[in-house]
Amino acid sequence: MKNKILKILKEEDKYISGEDISKALNVSRTAVWKHINELRNDGYVIQSSSKKGYRFLKAPDILDKREINIPKGQFIGSNIRYFEEIDSTNSYAKKIANEGCAHGTVVISEVQTMGRGRVGRQWQSDTAEGIWFSIVVRPDLEPENIQVITLAASVAVVEAIKETCGIICGIKWPNDIILNGRKLGGILTELSAEPGHVNYVVVGIGLNANQDLEHFDYEIRQKAISLKMYAGKSISRANLLGSILTRFEKIYKSILLGENRDIIDKWTAYSVTIGKEVKVAYKDMEYFGKALSVASDGRLIVECKDGVTREISAGEIQV
């Protein structure tokens, strides 16, 4: 009922009387008043006037599904699990994926207590100023072709930031979202597969949105950035998240149609890696060379100084 009232208030965009709401929903005026107070406790700003009724003014800065705009019929985000705090959205997403959750389920948390990066690294996400979420998909693809999903997610993120904030970011292979030479976000893709068959893929995305520099731990202060630090003002996390989910669905569908080339071309256009001299570190090996391109399966092709051209599937890049 609370959410139905919220919907009416948002759609009306001007004062609507308690009586009109109670008629529309077939509940008492006292019930309407009670639910409006609950919405206020949730952080919604709703004006009231004894003569005119109620008027919606402002939503709280939360990533609750009521605030994320998902077009009708879109499967990514049609099922959202929202938490105020969780250890890691990726860990939870893997758990529910193992239990059979729907394709396209999205797990969102305002705060993570044990956010994870790749190879056991930590991801600082202890504040509700960022966007921390995971998408569960069950693609009909060969396990070795999954890397293109990470590239697709980075393209969706960069395009959504451009659309909702007017800010142009770059992508550093394989998973860093870069702004002004600093790390704005990262993607952690985790896979459950058997030979020749993918059970599910969890695409975990972390983006710094409204943090100030002091929010970041001392160790990453020199290399991290948020959209607010760059733009000088806060951004709407809910709008950005909605746009990422919508764009990701579109790109995801094109992967299933085998249109990887399109995604790779877009990715290359945003890349800060291709065409640059790079150092590739993987396990205890290091290669130096020029990053030439990305293959259709997402591997980075590097023309190394020893004359060998290598296809790199994992590792760290320094540009």
Interface residues with ligand BT5 (CB under 6 A) are 88-90, 112, 115-118, 121-125, 132-134, 175, 183, 186-188, 204-206, 208, 220, 224
Residue 7's nearest CA partner among 36, 33, 48, 28 is: 36
- Count of CB atoms situated within 10 Å of the CB of 96: 18
Q: How far is the CB of 141 from ligand BT5 (least distance, A)?
A: 21
From the number of C-beta atoms within 10 Å of its C-beta (0-12, 13-18, 19+), residue 279 rates as middle
Q: How far is the CB of 180 from ligand BT5 (least distance, A)?
A: 12
Of 73 and 218, CB closest to ligand BT5: 218
- Cβ 31 to ligand BT5 shortest distance, Å: 38
Q: Which is nearer to ligand BT5, 193 or 220 (CB)?
A: 220
Residue whose beta carbon is closest to ligand BT5: 186
Would you say 121 and 87 are in contact if contact means Cβ atoms under 8 Å apart? no
Cα(279)–Cα(287) distance, rounded to whole angstroms?
Answer: 6
Burial class (CB in 10 A: 0-12, 13-18, 19+), 304: middle
CB of 262 to ligand BT5, least distance (A): 24
In the complex, what is the shortest distance from the CB of residue 86 to ligand BT5, in angstroms, rounded to a whole number?
9
Nearest to ligand BT5 of 10, 223 (CB atom) = 223
Residue corresponding to tokens 């570190």: 281
Q: Where are the beta strands (DSSP E) in 87-140?
A: 106-112, 131-137
CA distance 188 to 120: 11
Taking the C-alpha atoms of residue 275 and residue 153, their distance in angstroms, rounded to an integer, is 22
Residue 226 or 243: which CB sits closer to ligand BT5? 226
Nearer to ligand BT5, 90 or 210 (CB): 90
**Closer CB to ligand BT5, 19 or 84, in the complex:** 84
Nearest distance, CB of residue 79 and ligand BT5, angstroms = 17
